[in-house]
Amino acid sequence: MENFSEVLSLFLVWDNFIAIAIGVFLGVVIGAIPGLTTTMAVALALPFTFSMEPVSAILLLVGIYKGGMYGGSITAILIRTPGTPASACTLLDGYPMAQNGEAKKALKMSLYSSVIADIISNISLIFFAAYLAKIALNFGAPEFFGLSVFP
């Protein structure tokens, strides 16, 4: 419980909330542009984080990534061109809904599913990161070779 209060004291700062908001906004904008991926957006934003506080910098990059994951579905639903490769399947159901006049419903469904999936993945990471780290520390040459050959 002591660690939890320590983490909250690091996280609950206005600079962090501003970094998250800016990151999500930039992620949605960049994700909605076809051809620009969220990975590219994070890579382009990385030099700007060098002068920031570490927690704020990581939250900015996470916000860009999470916003970009949703942003790619906007163009997939509205103009049948996925903004990111991850949103390619969204156009299969989203674009026909937009053609039937249900674009707002499709965008809301995409937003809700993105948020729910992010929450589940974050909680899973919190609970399983230590176990995955223990497994990764036991990796040897054959495992690293398998990781490099089979990404």
Contact 19, 56 (CB under 8 A): yes
Q: How many CB atoms lie within 10 A of CB 121?
A: 11
Convert 125-145 to b/e letters by CB count within 10 Å (16 or more is b): eeeeeeeeeeeeeeeeeeeee
- Digit-by-digit pLDDT tens for the chain (151 residues) are 677 788 788 788 898 999 999 999 999 999 888 888 888 999 999 999 999 999 899 999 999 999 998 998 999 999 988 888 888 888 888 999 999 999 999 999 999 998 999 899 989 988 898 898 998 898 889 888 988 898 7
* Alpha-carbon gap, residue 39 to 42, rounded angstroms: 5
Residue that has been written with the tokens 């960049």 in this structure: 30
The answer to pTM > 0.85 is no
